[in-house]
Chain A
Amino acid sequence: MTLDRADEQFMSKGFASSFRLVLLATAVLVCFASIGVRLVHLHVLDRERLVSYVDQARRSVITEQARRGDILDIKGDVLATSRTVIQLGVDPQMLREQDREDWPELARLIGLPLEQLIATFNRVERVDDSGRVRLVRWAKLVDEIEESTYAAVLELGIKGVYGNRSYRRTYPRNQLAAHLIGFVNRENAPSGGVEGFADFYLRGQDGWRQSERDGLRRELAQFRNRQVPANDGFSVVLSIDSVVQHLIETELAYIGDTYTPAKASIIVSDADTGFILGLANYPTYNLNEYGRASLDVQRNTAVTDLLDPGSTFKIVPTAAALERGLVTAESRFNCSIPAMEWRGRLRKFMPDDHVYDHPLTVAEIISHSSNIGAAQLGMKLGEKGMYSAARQFGFGEPSGFPLGYESRGLLNPPEKWSALEITRIPAGYSISATPMQIHYAMAAIASGGELLRPQIIKEVRDDTGNTIYRFERTARRRVLQTPVAEEMARMLVGVTEEGTAKAAAIAGYEVAGKTGTAQKLVDGRYSNRNHVGSFVGFFPASGPELVITVIVDDARLPGRRVNYGSAVAVPAFKRVAEQLISYLDIKPTVAPPARPRFAMEGNRW
């Protein structure tokens, strides 16, 4: 009984009977209720406003910049690439006194005078346009520093100094192949060349991700909810060989220094495929300093500028007359007459430099570059035949070269020809063409009769190096039957053996080619002082591997000598060809040159 009472007493003063405990429980419940009310307020009543605030303050879309693809030469050497550069700046409000001792080292690293750096650091306020004083939160120190320099800057640990990264296009070879590569300006807009033409492949696709930021604007990676990765641009592989390109640019620099021409071009292409191995113009410019070059210098004159092809055009009437069976290589023409009656009218020829004591064969017309002989071949073809042959060889139409603003040339239809033009056009006058058209007309003979499409892009690769697309040899049309092309090649060898370009002959190799010297039109008249000298050739003639064109516009020769093709272009052709023979290991075809013997080799040969 006593126990029961004691239990009852205990129970009456039980856990819940305490007023304080009830109070505590009530307080807990009130707290929960308060939290509940607040949650309802935040999530239901004030939801719209708060969500929009959070969206503004925390959510962000971060763009991931795609890296522009590289431009490579045929050997994989980098001609254009993208790298990050850092624009370095400072927030003067965040600078600490304890970092002051590192300022001189920072100035040294970024190449800024210490006084200038201190002045920038100390400028903590500025006055805006409305006259209000504002705090400076960002002041630029240098436009561009490299990653390695930036890493060294960060190691100094100066609070408030930081950089913003951006991709910058860089051209490690400077002016090499400038007219082919083009450039990307500071707004990331491609201009000309492969940069412009292949921009679709090169530029890639920027990515983005939706995420959130904390109060210090740092990304909260766990809240990334959407992400589209950036696709880097493809790499474009050119048919250009850097060494070949360098050789011809060196040659052009030499021509420029020695003869100060108005302009000059050298084109080297593969005789079989038509792919360009090198193309250079004088003057040229440094791609990393494109802003300093005038638009004239940036122009790829090999495809934009027109000139009279002169005697290099004589291959057209000759080949066409052979192709149509109107003449043979041994057909003879009197090339010592000043004029000739044709279609009832006397047509005056352009005079030749030499007087011939015998009628010239077709082969001799080519080797001696007779204007009178070429005119008679043109007459054999007739106006329409001559026009048709020129069109067949690609004159008067774009060659299809993909870069730059190619000119189609100037070739009037026969209805617009004057009475004299049947004597002028076969000699390469009254017609205008680009160096590229002249080059590929000769290349049509070297290829065995097919007019090839000039190509510069070999393939497109993705960022892992896999080939996405490969460009193949493309023939525009067949111009000559192969036997005729062979006959032409044989005749053109005569030019370097006994004709106007003996200086182009290379021991052990059959060099076929044609010189050209065209008077320039100055103020509507053909000038006797201003000439375009050229030489277009290929070798080995029996199995052509390379086609080389050298065109020098208005070279200044010592003693006011005329800029004949043989004076400047032919020696340049030979120098380039000899270097390419050793670089590309082109085997001799005639007879091996005398084998050198070196003391170190003893008699072991």
Chain B
Amino acid sequence: MKKSASAFVSEFLVYLLVLTGFNGSVWLGTVWLRHQISETAQFTKQTESQLVAVERRLAETTARLASELSPETLQAKNHDMQLGLVRPAELHIVRVEESPEQRLAAKRNFDIFTEEVSTGESAVQFSFHDPGSR
């Protein structure tokens, strides 16, 4: 009788230890999980902070850029750097009525579209070096 009671207590203690071990593992797992959640949340928070910081720097840069591009700043730079830039007067403006691309192409290719070339009266001439002159 005594033996069986002892065995029961022994068995109970073993199960208790196993249960404690199991519970401990579960709790440890939970703690680890919570730690990971905390780490992830912290990482997200840091990323958000970085994003906000970038936006702040962007706003600051935008403001500074706008300030640098203001007409009075540009005028001051024009004066300080002695660039001599002036506003165009009507005299300086040539109003282009036709297609600007065609006009620019015509200007660029003015030499090769001379009358002689286009009519074939004058063939293209190539000038070779005299081999003996070297």
Contacts and interface: CB of A to CB of B under 8 A. Distances in A.
A82 B58 CA distance: 11
Nearest to B106: A604
A176 B70 contact: yes
Interface in A200-237: 219-222, 224
Given A147-B56, A582-B89, A592-B95, A77 B63 contact: no
A81 B59 contact: yes
B66 A172 contact: yes
A172 B67 contact: yes
Interface stretch (A7-15, A182-190, A271-279): A7-15
A174 B63 CA distance: 11
Given A582-B87, A582-B89, A604-B107, A84 B6 contact: no
A15 B107 CA distance: 109
Residue with the highest number of chain B CB atoms closer than 10 Å, among A21, A84, A148, A221: A221
Contacts of B94: 595-596
B62 A78 contact: yes
A579 interface: yes
A172 B3 contact: no
A81 B7 CA distance: 82
A14 B87 CA distance: 108
A289 interface: no
Contact of B3 (A12, A222, A587, A593): A12
Contact of B63 (A15, A78, A224, A604): A78
Contacts of B56: 83-84, 147, 165
* Majority SS at the chain A contact face: mixed
A222 B63 contact: no
Given A16-B7, A246-B71, A172 B13 contact: no
Contacts of B134: none
A77 B7 contact: no
A147 B37 CA distance: 31
A12 B41 CA distance: 57
Interface in B57-108: 57, 59-60, 62-64, 66-67, 69-72, 87-95, 107
A492 B96 CA distance: 30
Interface residues on B, range: 35 or more
A16 B4 CA distance: 11
Given A14-B7, A78-B63, A81-B66, A222 B38 contact: yes
The dominant DSSP class at the B interface is helix
B34 to A, nearest CB: 7
B42 A25 contact: no
Contacts of B71: 173, 176, 242-243, 246
Given A246-B71, A596-B94, A16 B87 contact: no
A81 B62 contact: yes
B28 interface: no
Given A81-B62, A170-B63, A604-B107, A582 B90 contact: yes
Nearest to B44: A221
Contacts of B8: 16
Given A174-B70, A579-B87, 13 more contacts: A11-B3, A25-B13, A78-B62, A81-B59, A83-B59, A83-B63, A174-B72, A176-B70, A220-B38, A246-B72, A582-B87, A593-B91, A595-B94
What 6 pairs between A and B have smallest CB-CB spacing?
Answer: A172-B66, A221-B41, A222-B41, A172-B67, A16-B9, A78-B66
Interface of B: 2-3, 6-10, 13-14, 16, 34, 37-38, 40-42, 44-45, 53, 56-57, 59-60, 62-64, 66-67, 69-72, 87-95, 107, 110
27 contacts: A11-B7, A12-B2, A14-B3, A14-B6, A14-B7, A15-B14, A16-B8, A17-B6, A28-B16, A78-B62, A81-B62, A81-B63, A81-B66, A83-B63, A84-B59, A146-B60, A148-B57, A165-B56, A172-B66, A173-B71, A174-B72, A176-B71, A220-B41, A221-B44, A242-B71, A246-B72, A595-B94
